[in-house]
Structure formats: C-alpha cells, structure tokens
Structure 1
C-alpha cells in the first residue's frame, strides 16, 4: 500500500474547531500538503492569523466564523464554501468541548453545550458534507476526532457527560458507515480516538480545577501534531482501504 495525499491536492477540506489545539495542527498539516482548507471556529481571528503564517505553503487556509452549536452558522459556512472554494471532499469534525461537572449536581447548560458541540454539530456538518459529496459523485472522507473515552469509561470523575458524548461519536461513525454501505456509497468514514492530548480541553483548560490539571500534567501526553499526522495517515490510504477506527495513545498511558 502506497501512502500518498496526492489525490487530495487542490481539493477542499473542512475542519471544525480550527482555531487551536488539534484543529490548528490538522489545518497546518493539510495546507502543508496542498489542500484548500476551510477552518471553522468561533474565534475566527485565530484562524486568520494562522492563514497568514501559512501563506506561501502549497495549500491555502480560509477562516470562517461559525459557532458549531448553531445550525444556521454551519449551513451558512457550507454554502459559502461551496460558492467560493468548491465542492467539499474532506470533513474533519474536530470541534469539541469538555466541562468539569457531575451528574449529581451539574449544570444543565453545560450538559447541553457538550452534546450540542460534540454530537449535534458533528451530525449537522456531516449531513451537509455528504449532501455535497453525493450530489457531485465525490468519494470523500468524513473523519471524526473521537477519544479513547468513547470506547471505555475511565475512572476520572467529573467528565461523565463528555464520555457519553464520545460514546455517541463512536456509534455515529459506525452507523454512518453502515448507512453509506447500504446505498453503495464510496464515501469513507473514520473515527480517530486519541488518548490524552495537550489542548485547551485538557491541561490548558482554564475551567478545570488546579487539582485536575495537575493530575493531567502527571500523565503521559500526546502532542496535537501527533493527531494531525494520524489524520494524514488515514487520508493517505488507497481508495479501496477504509480505516474504521484508529486509536492513538501516548506510550505509558494507563487509563
């Protein structure tokens, strides 16, 4: 199997949550490899700054302001992309949120935001991408940035709703694969499930308690670039090869 991103050069990729962490690393990787990237984020100014840094690279980054919890923002973003950049070939559902709370006394608004970002936003973006791919006979690729906690409940109190949202992503990836198979679609679906990664959702999370952050800092951890390279690996497989699930953990991780 020859690994190459050549088939995607000049094609359009959508990356949600593109302003920092894993999303920003994925954006940079794709642009370095000649792909046109639409980076969706609430903090679009950070994506615009990244676009300036990447000027002169083989690909190009376009910043699009969008709140992934708002369906209208997602619909408008895909409409703009289609009209200004071209047909979507790749979607990377990376946007995510993790709130520290408990089922016994947590805030409803925090639970709702977690599911709106991690599940509903992912579903809406996936639907819009597949509409474009199907209408234009594009054998595209949908990648969900999942988590190891989407496959097992870890003994780490205070993230139960986050874990539930990631279990949903695991189920959605497989049900979508079956759904596409049923209509003989060649669109690929992949769940990438990292272990602990340095990001604003983990050790850089300003809403986490110091005790929680100190626990996280004591654990083996991945870099955002490690996940970006995994995305590149998944995209580089031959058209007849589908990686359904890719789990990535730092050496020594025990959760």
Structure 2
C-alpha cells in the first residue's frame, strides 16, 4: 500500500516539475535569506525537484547531494547544473522515508515543501535529522494547518478523481477566476515569483499526498529530536490556508 502511494507521488512529480521550473535568480535570493550564511562542508537538498535550490546551495557548500524521488526532475536538475558548469552537486534518486546516506554526514540539511508530500512526513523528518551532524542546520518549509485545511482536503480528494479533460478545464477555469479577483481586488494571489497560477492550482489540489502541520507541532518535533527551533516565516503566501511556514534549527552537540 505504501509503495503504491509512493509510486503515485513519483509519477505526479515526473510530470509536474520538468514543466514547472522555478526562477533560479529569485530562488537563489530566497535560499540565502533563510539559510545561515557560512561555508558548509556538505549540504543535502531533500526533495530537490528541478534543482534550483541545489544550485544555490552549491555556492555555499563544498559538496551538495540533490536528492529526489522523481527521475525526470533529477534529469532536469542535472541539465541545469551542467549549463552553469557546477561540478560539486551529486544527483541521487530515492525516498525521504529511507535516505541512503550515513548518519551525521551533512552539516546543512534543506528541504523546501517536501516532507508533507511524503507518505509518512514524520518518518521523513526523522531521516533528515538522522543524516544531520551535531551542530548542523536543518531548514524546512511545510504546509500550515488552518481552520480551512479540511476544505482544501475535500476539494483535493474530489479533484484527484477527475478525468484528465475535466481536470484541465477545472484548472483553466479556476486560474481565470483567481486572476479576475487579483485584478479587481489586488489580492496579489499571483505573485511575481510564480506567475503561473495553473501550476499552483495543480500543486494545491492534485498532489497524491498532502499533509499539514501546526507551528506548535513542528516545534515539538524539532525539540523532541534535539534541535533548536526558529520560526522564520509563518506564511509564505497571501493566505495561510495555501501557505508553507519556514523553520530552522541547530542539532544539539551533546
């Protein structure tokens, strides 16, 4: 059952990420805002997608492991790294539920918006902590649980059952609606760093796996696993119900 769910997630991202490559310049700026600025020996990008975060991490780490479930995403990431002539990134395919890396082997572990899309996000969290060395930094972005979460989940479960043609029409119609609201009310739903609202709709409602955390629950996870806790941003978007929150912490050296 777990393997079947993981296969569905892999198939989704094999299709999704290669056609939705984030803007590297803006991603780079964002990474440097949330990762403590120093030189790292070895960084791990857990769920790297198309690798734009990995490219940024390669500037501040001697070596980077770009890790993802999707082979298509990794190919896109490797192609981007080759264009920039970056030689210090290793691309590895696998699941965050069982990371093929030694304990305490990275001084920076970064995972943007990924563990909440795994079959077992807490297990994925534990794996990220396991490979982080004492004194190392763990940076995560995860979906925020709000009073509207149940509405999003009902909508997502309905959307997952849509035939392909209906799915396409739904995405286009909702995108038109959101753009009309943004134009009239200036809600800034379609942000400059992601003008392709269709891709956001697909990520909101058509992902096979989606889990949510409260900030308190994440703080307990960090503290219970020997990490400090710092809330960097409580919502990354206009609305909390469709946002990640960003946290980081340092692993105890005791």
User: Please, what TM-score do these two structures have when normalized by structure 1?
Assistant: 0.46
User: Please, what TM-score do these two structures have when normalized by structure 2?
Assistant: 0.46
